[in-house]
């Protein structure tokens, strides 16, 4: 979000890595994991940048924050970078996650195998509908919201996913935060207020579609002038479907995070 609060790039709390770099680390990790699965031992910054959809100078700068400079003529050691980025992102430990709102989306998320393989364990599924209580989704019985605080404390959960209707999201968020949750992934189309120290990331596929519609409209109105430049077509450097919100808005900054949307 462009708040104009702070002119320095926002940095992660731990080691002074800019938030925009942190937002690109998962892109590098995904590309590196694919290389690792193909047993590719080393990769050049250009190849990796292209696989991650990032400019190679930006990649080298990002990796310098990790203390990783690669070897001239050889490139980067794929396995070591996978380890380094995983460690930086905190993925070398298990993160229990609760999903609140087990409707169409919550159930789809619960069934998504990609969480577990990336170190996120779905510890509990929570819904306000009493008729869902006890019903298994993805092999996990849904629990009623009455149990929310106990579930979070019993499982040591620090990450909550909100997949409720927009009207319920703030109230769910408040309960999650009061119960000790400090990171929220919000799928509900609403802006959440959270106290300082709580991170919110918002996912909104309809916003992504609107951005694509904008580009479609522009393409339709343009004469073909040859290949579009990278600047025209490259995705933003951070995963575009998410944006960071921190409250109070006066503190901190989103720096050069390009994913600009209200969270
Ligand atoms: N971000 C995205 O890209 C994206 C995509 C699809 C849907 N959504 C949003 O995700 C949300 C869920 O969509 P859906 O299609 O799964 O809806 P749904 O109606 O199928 O499911 C919502 C679930 O939330 C539960 N719920 C309602 N109030 C609750 C509360 N206070 N506490 C706990 N659970 C509660 C309901 O019982 C229901 O099971 C909506 O806000 C929708 O707009 C976002």
- Residues 250-262 have pLDDT tens digits of 333 333 333 334 3
pLDDT at 237 > cutoff 50: no
Q: Is the dihedral of CA 177, 96, 239, 137 positive or negative?
A: negative
* 164 and 107 inside one domain: yes
The closest-lying atom of ligand 1 relative to the alpha carbon of residue 190 is: 41
Q: Which of 42, 69, 88 is the last residue of a domain?
A: 88
* 164 and 113 inside one domain: yes
The enclosing domain of 113 has a CATH number of 3.40.50.720
Domain contains 251: no
Name the nearest CA neighbour of 80 among 93, 68, 95.
Answer: 68
Domain contains 242: no
Q: Whose CA is nearest to atom 21 of ligand 1?
A: 103
* 113 and 157 inside one domain: yes
* 71 and 102 inside one domain: no
Whether residue 155 is annotated as binding a ligand: the answer is no
Choice among 4-18, 82-96, 192-206 with the minimum mean pLDDT: 4-18
Tally of structural domains, the chain: 2
Range of the structural domain that residue 102 is part of: 95-203
Q: Whose CA is nearest to atom 32 of ligand 1?
A: 128
Output the CA 54–ligand 1 centroid distance in Å. 33
pLDDT band at 10 (very low <50, low <70, confident <90, very high): low
Is the model's pTM score more than 0.80? Answer: no
Residue 28 has a pLDDT of 96
pLDDT band at 224 (very low <50, low <70, confident <90, very high): low
Output the CA 102–ligand 1 centroid distance in Å. 7
Angle at 247 between CA 3 and CA 238, to 5 degrees: 60
* 25 and 119 inside one domain: no
Residue 240 has a pLDDT of 41
**Average per-residue pLDDT in the chain?**
82
Whether residue 102 is annotated as binding a ligand: the answer is yes
* 55 and 103 inside one domain: no
By DSSP bridging, strand 242-245 and strand 199-203 are antiparallel
* 108 and 193 inside one domain: yes
| Residue 144 host element (H or E) | strand 140-144
Residue 47 has a pLDDT of 95
Residue 84 has a pLDDT of 92
The answer to whether ipTM exceeds 0.95 is: yes
Whether residue 103 is annotated as binding a ligand: the answer is yes
Domain contains 135: yes
Could you count the other beta carbons within 10 Å of the beta carbon of residue 245?
A: 21
Q: Which of 88, 119, 146 is the last residue of a domain?
A: 88
Choice among 44-53, 133-142, 217-226 with the minimum mean pLDDT: 217-226
Ligand 1 pocket, mutate which of 98, 102, 103 (most atoms under 8 A from CB)? 103
């Amino acid at each position: 979000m462009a708040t104009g609060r702070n002119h320095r790039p926002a940095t992660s709390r731990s080691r002074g890595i800019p938030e925009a770099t942190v937002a690109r680390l998962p892109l590098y990790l995904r590309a590196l994991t694919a290389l690792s699965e193909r047993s590719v031992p080393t990769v050049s910054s250009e190849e990796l940048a292209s696989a991650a959809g990032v400019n190679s100078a930006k990649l080298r700068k990002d990796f310098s924050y990790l203390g990783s400079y690669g070897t001239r003529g050889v490139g980067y050691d794929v396995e070591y970078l996978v380890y380094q980025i995983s460690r930086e992102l905190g993925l070398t430990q298990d993160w229990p996650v609760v999903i609140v709102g087990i409707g169409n989306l919550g159930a789809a998320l619960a069934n998504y195998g990609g969480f577990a393989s990336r170190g996120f364990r779905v510890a509990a599924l929570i819904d306000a509908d009493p008729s869902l209580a006890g019903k298994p989704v993805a092999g996990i019985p849904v629990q009623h919201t009455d149990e929310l605080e106990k579930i979070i404390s019993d499982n040591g959960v620090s990450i909550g996913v909100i997949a409720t209707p927009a009207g319920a999201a703030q109230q769910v968020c408040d309960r999650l935060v009061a119960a000790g949750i400090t990171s929220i992934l919000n799928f509900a189309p609403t802006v959440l207020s959270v106290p300082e120290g709580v991170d919110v990331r918002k996912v909104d596929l309809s916003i992504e579609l609107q951005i694509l519609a904008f580009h479609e409209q522009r393409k339709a109105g343009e004469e073909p002038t040859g290949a579009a430049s990278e600047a025209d077509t490259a995705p933003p450097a951070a995963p575009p479907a998410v944006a960071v919100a921190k409250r109070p808005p006066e503190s901190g900054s989103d720096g050069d995070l390009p994913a600009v949307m209200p969270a």
